[in-house]
Amino acid sequence: MGSPDLGGLPELTKDEITRYSRHLILPEVGVEGQRILKKSRVLLIGTGGLGAPIAMYLAAAGVGTLGIVDFDFVDETNLQRQIIHGTRDIGRPKIASAKDRIKSINPKVNVIAIEQRLSSENALDIIKDYDVVVDGTDNFPTRYLVNDACVLLGKPNVYGSVFRFEGQVSVFYAQEGACYRCLYPEPPPAGLVPTCSEGGILGVLPGIIGCIQANETIKLLLGKGEPLINRLLLFDALKMKFRELKLSKDTNCPICGTHPTITSPIDYEEFCGLKKPAEEEPIEEITAIELKRRFDGGEEVQILDIREPHELAIGKLPGTKAIPFGQIVRRKAELDPERDTIVICKIGQRSVMAIRTLRDSGYNGRLLNLKDGMNAWAQEIDPRIAQY
């Protein structure tokens, strides 16, 4: 795409000429390009692992208005990769700490802090006034929402995602190429792809991917270079290799195809299979305090921990039977259906899937999910066990 129609460009002050001097001597940027950046409005969805480097580098580059959307709070586990936040920010709203850091980098940036969850009801109103949208989210419902809203409003969407040691980046701009739905028409089954809190992530990886997203954003604003439209860039940090896949618009895409069937934002939780059907059998839960009470009362229960071996090394309950999630069906005969089985994972999400999997496989013993997983046990019962 060419540079956005920005009308009259703002002048640069003497201080700004000094601040951005390394940009000004680039022929591809120059004074006019820096004035374009000053006029530009970029919306960043999320101030986590990806959002951190994106926000800081766009601020440093002189993007005039930076909207940031987030509703989460800074947690100690964030600090390994979300470098826009610091130790003293633990417990603060991420959007507050991100705004402070952006302003410390470049006080000339107009930061619009939007402390709310992006939803089908507000996405179009939030996105409509920005030139480029940068997706720094980590979940499928929001990715589809951002994509659809950008297509409906004609905005470019700078996409990035990370998991463990791998990341990917693209620019989805339906006016000139494929959108996110062209690449991923359907989300994966709910729960199939672990979150970063369950699967882990190399701390520097979001920095690498986020910097590429910031780079693509600046190129789009300036109308320079070859943006990643119709290209998906794949990065493997362990092998230190980049690969590129060619993308093409799907003429049958329901949002950007020849005959679109999606003309407004939909229910993305339902689309991604995250809403529980009314007829679905509920999962019985037990809290850490209740489990401790059963232990203290001498009740015989079997503990099934479905975490991976490297997670078990961090801490586990005594008498635990460890069967990784991927092995529970073929090893279900190792469980005694006459005894209550407490199923444990890190935060109580994978264990829900494990219980449903065991039920579907025909296991008929009583299964209870440890609510909030081992982290709850560490927090409420045994602080000697580290939370992770």
Tell me the pLDDT tens digit for each residue of 341-351: 999 999 998 89
Contacts of 184 (CB under 8 A, 6+ apart): none
Within a domain: 6? no
The residue among 271, 295, 323 that closes a domain is 271
Long-range (24+ apart) CB contacts under 8 A made by 318-327 are 320/344, 325/350, 325/353, 325/354, 325/357
The residue among 271, 296, 313 that closes a domain is 271
Out of 182, 196, 253, 256, the active site residue is 196
Number of domains in the chain: 2
- Per the structure, the complete domain to which residue 327 belongs is given by 285-380
Looking at the structure, do residues 206 and 260 belong to the same domain, yes or no? yes
Give the model confidence (pLDDT) of 305-355 as tens digits: 999 888 888 899 988 999 998 899 999 999 999 999 999 999 998 899 899
> Could you confirm whether 211 is annotated as catalytic?
no
Which CATH number covers residue 80?
Answer: 3.40.50.720
Looking at the structure, do residues 258 and 184 belong to the same domain, yes or no? yes
Order across the sheet with 341-344: list the strands.
285-286, 367-370, 341-344, 302-305, 320-322
> Could you confirm whether 345 is annotated as catalytic?
yes
Give the model confidence (pLDDT) of 171-212 as tens digits: 999 999 999 999 999 988 766 676 776 778 999 999 999 999
Q: What is the pLDDT of residue 192?
A: 66
- The reply to whether the predicted model has a pTM over 0.95 is no
Q: Give helix then strand counts, H and E, for the chain.
A: 15, 13
Residue 162 to residue 88: CA distance in whole angstroms: 26
Within a domain: 34? yes
Looking at the structure, do residues 338 and 228 belong to the same domain, yes or no? no
Out of 182, 253, 272, 345, the active site residue is 345
